[in-house]
Amino acid sequence: MAGDFKKILSCKATYWVKIWRPDIRGVRMALFGLLLFLTIFILAAFSDLFAPHDPWNRFEPFLAPCREHILGTNDLGNDILSELIYGSRVSLIVGFGAALMATLIGTLIGLLAGYFRGLIDEILMGITDVFLMIPQIPLIIILAAFLRPSFWLVALIMGALWWTSTARVVRSKAMQIRETSFIECSRSLGFSHTHIIFSDILPNILHVIMPKFLLTIASAMISEASISFLGLGDPTMKSWGMMINFAFTRGGFINGYWWWYMPPGLCITLSVLSLVLVGFSLEEHEEETMRIE
């Protein structure tokens, strides 16, 4: 009896309560990741408040860290700390833009394939398999080489390519939920397919989509940094990858100016780490609850 009651309660628990239930193993890691991410987010949102100088302003070049310029200046005399703070914007915009687009496409395709099955499933999953095999970084390099590099373009291409794994996960989950009795119930009550897909199935797979979304942001951020490192980044914006590229090509490494190349590299790693920590612990938690059920 008590067990039944508990089961009903846990079924009623909404998505957010499920995530923040305090008994998650590794919740500390998730919290740490979240805090780290919030810090970076606030830095990006209020760059002009935090940055000590305008990142385009020119001071004396190649300054070592000092009181006025905490991380010194680069070859053009730009203040590196300010560049670093402004650089978080591109990373976050590209990451979020690409991941949002990828998640929307992936969720839609996964839902349709998993709900309708049959021919639609075959076709959509065929397309997914084809997209999965396109080498993404080389394609982005080619497109960015032909077009004028801009961070919108990079985000758009990544979003258009990276929906595949989300689609696969959503599909398998949608196939499971499709067979449950409450969907059968909705169907016999005469609800339309659109209503069943978006009001009955979608809310029940949000908890699978969320970690995928976070992990997609993380990989988009790494790729953006790699593409800017090749010099294909947006020349009108400061980005971490581009800072490392300049340090690499303009003598920062040879002269051992660690304050030039270390901070952007660490920033990329930390921001990716923050998202991956939250994403992984959500996924792990998801697997554990599945087993209990």
Partner 1 sequence: MTLSGKKAIRYLLAIILIFSLNFAIPRAMPGDPLANLLGEDVMLTEESIVELRAKMGLDLPLHQQFLNYWSDVIRFDLGYSYHLHSPVCAIILSRMKWTLLLAVPSLVLGAVLGTLLGALAGWKSREACQKFETGLVLMIYCTPPYFLSLLSLYALSFKLGLFPLKGFYSTGSALDIAHHLLLPVVVMTLFSLSRNYMIMRGSVIQERGNLYATYARAKGLYGEEILFRHVFKNAILPIITLLALDFGFILSGALFIEIVFSMNGMGNLIYDALLSRDYPVLQGSFLVITIMVVSANLLADLLYSHIDPRVRWQ
Task: Report the C-alpha gap between 252 and 123 in whole angstroms.
Answer: 51
Extract the tokens encoding 14.
Answer: 């909404």
Extract the tokens encoding 152.
Answer: 């919108």
Which residue's CB is nearer to partner 1, number 1 or number 254?
Answer: 254
- Asked if 15 contacts 259 with a C-beta cutoff of 8 angstroms, the reply is no
Q: Residue 265, interface with partner 1 (CB under 8 A)?
A: yes
Beta-ladder partners of 73: 79
Backbone phi and psi for residue 89, each to the nearest 5 degrees, phi listed first: -65, -50
Q: Residue 248, interface with partner 1 (CB under 8 A)?
A: yes
Which residue's CB is nearer to partner 1, number 108 or number 225?
Answer: 225
Task: Report the C-alpha gap between 80 and 89 in whole angstroms.
Answer: 15
Q: Residue 208, interface with partner 1 (CB under 8 A)?
A: no
* Stretch near partner 1 under the rule CB under 8 A, chosen from 54-62, 88-96, 197-205, 262-270: 262-270
Extract the tokens encoding 252.
Answer: 């920062």
Which residue's CB is nearer to partner 1, number 166 or number 200?
Answer: 166
Which residue's CB is nearer to partner 1, number 213 or number 229?
Answer: 229
Q: Residue 146, interface with partner 1 (CB under 8 A)?
A: yes
For residue 79, give the 3-state DSSP assignment: strand
Q: Residue 36, interface with partner 1 (CB under 8 A)?
A: no
How many CB atoms sit inside 10 A of residue 246's CB?
Answer: 21
* Stretch near partner 1 under the rule CB under 8 A, chosen from 50-58, 91-99, 178-186, 270-278: 270-278
Q: Residue 261, interface with partner 1 (CB under 8 A)?
A: yes
* Stretch near partner 1 under the rule CB under 8 A, chosen from 11-19, 59-67, 104-112, 221-229: 221-229
